[in-house]
A and B are shown apart, each in its own frame.
Chain A
Amino acid sequence: GEDVEQSLFLSVREGDSSVINCTYTDSSSTYLYWYKQEPGAGLQLLTYIFSNMDMKQDQRLTVLLNKKDKHLSLRIADTQTGDSAIYFCAESNRYSGGGADGLTFGKGTHLIIQP
């Protein structure tokens, strides 16, 4: 079945860049997402990328996709204490009725910010 893998923890110094990596197995994945979950809060969509793209940038966030290796990464530039959270990688296929299907999530990466 489909599988999404992420490392469980990443520790970075405040001001450095954070790079969170994700691998997936479903070659038919159409959409790839990054979500952020803060304690006690719901999932917040950070960004997503179509499988026919290899990069997407949005302010401090850069997503890189290597479709051949089924590898997705999220780079957060100038990491701040407010970036401390769990980051989930997710993938989905195209829904038959249009739009994206239900998501398959990784286990999440805890981003820890050191002062």
Chain B
Amino acid sequence: GAVVSQHPSRVICKSGTSVKIECRSLDFQATTMFWYRQFPKQSLMLMATSNEGSKATYEQGVEKDKFLINHASLTLSTLTVTSAHPEDSSFYICSARPHTYNEQFFGPGTRLTVL
């Protein structure tokens, strides 16, 4: 149980295009989903917290107009990287948490490469 999927697993795009990444909880309802970013040989950095049906809360330094987050249902959250640039290339990881749980369940991540 507690499986989280991400799609796509890898994406390569041209500079200036937008890319959407999906995060799904497959066997539980996730009232809260989190989006993280991991640079090579670095730690995961929390980007934003999204609650179903409400606006996402972004961490300091993360541009909300650049990284659009939608959490329209209890099993799906999407992250759209708008007008992507090479510096946005990274590993994006989502996690999902059932209501009041202390545990987060992580997706396998999406490798974004912007040319």
Interface positions of A (Cβ within 8 A of B): 4, 31, 35, 41-45, 48, 88, 95, 97-108
Known A-B contacts A48-B102, A99-B100; A107 and B43 likewise in contact (beta carbons under 8 Å): yes
User: CA A109 – CA B111 in complex, angstroms?
Assistant: 22
User: Does the CB pair B100–A105 fall under 8 Å?
Assistant: no
User: CA A4 – CA B42 in complex, angstroms?
Assistant: 12
User: CA A102 – CA B103 in complex, angstroms?
Assistant: 10
User: CA A43 – CA B62 in complex, angstroms?
Assistant: 23
User: CA A48 – CA B103 in complex, angstroms?
Assistant: 8
User: CA A33 – CA B115 in complex, angstroms?
Assistant: 36
A88 in complex: contacting residue of B43, B95, B98, B107, CB < 8 Å: B43
User: Does the CB pair A43–B102 fall under 8 Å?
Assistant: no
B4 → chain A closest CB, angstroms: 8
A46 → chain B closest CB, angstroms: 11
Interface residues on B, range: 20 to 34
Residues of A within 8 A of B102 (CB): 31, 48, 99-100
User: Does the CB pair A102–B93 fall under 8 Å?
Assistant: no
User: Does the CB pair A98–B108 fall under 8 Å?
Assistant: no
User: Does the CB pair A42–B109 fall under 8 Å?
Assistant: yes
Residues of A within 8 A of B4 (CB): 42
User: Does the CB pair B44–A88 fall under 8 Å?
Assistant: yes
> Taking the complex as formed, is B24 at the interface, i.e. its CB lies under 8 A from any CB of chain A?
no
User: Does the CB pair B93–A43 fall under 8 Å?
Assistant: yes
Chain A residue with the shortest CB-CB distance to B107: A42
User: CA A42 – CA B4 in complex, angstroms?
Assistant: 10
Chain A residue with the shortest CB-CB distance to B103: A45
Interfacial residues of chain B within 46-104, with CB under 8 A of chain A in the complex: 46, 49, 51, 59, 93, 95, 97-104
Chain B residue with the shortest CB-CB distance to A90: B44
Residues of B within 8 A of A97 (CB): 31-32, 51, 99
Known A-B contacts A43-B93, A95-B32; A101 and B105 likewise in contact (beta carbons under 8 Å): no
User: CA A11 – CA B25 in complex, angstroms?
Assistant: 36
Chain A residue with the shortest CB-CB distance to B57: A102
